[in-house]
Amino acid sequence: MAAVHSLIPARFLTLTAHLVIVITIFWSRESNVLACLPLDFTQEEFNSKDTELVVALSVTLGLFAVELSGFFSGVSMFNSSQSLLSLAAHCSASVCLSFFVFQKWECWTYWFIFAFCSALPALVEVFLFIAVFGLKRKPL
């Protein structure tokens, strides 16, 4: 039982770190958008890539809302499986997104980071919501 309680602050810190990095990318996305474009690009291409990155970051923030609501409501706070999955995913996302910002990776790499590190834990969180509130079952 002590291991579950030590996962709670670690999970919260990795969620917060991932959230801070996503907000930082929002603020400095112009340099990442420029890294996605060829040397001779048009304004239309820039706007297209910028919109793509804004959509990806916005969906990520929406998934943070889902995951944080499950965490703070207690649905998954004491679930060790979800805590370990979330901890691993958000820790990996924090490291990968740091490289995304500093080394100016291509924009398509964000979608891989998004799928494995944001969408997967949020999807499991939604299943826990359904199990707890919809089926009235205790989370495993």
pTM beyond 0.75? yes
Task: For residue 4, give the 3-state DSSP assignment.
Answer: helix
Q: How far apart are CA 137 and CA 99, in angstroms?
A: 40
First to last CA, the chain: 14
26-47 pLDDT, tens digit per residue, is 998 998 999 989 989 999 999 9
Q: How far apart are CA 68 and CA 14, in angstroms?
A: 12
Q: Which residue in this structure is represented by tokens 């991932």?
A: 18
Extents of the domains making up the chain: 2-26+44-134
**The pLDDT value given to residue 84:** 93
What does the block give as tokens for 55? 């959509």
**The pLDDT value given to residue 4:** 59
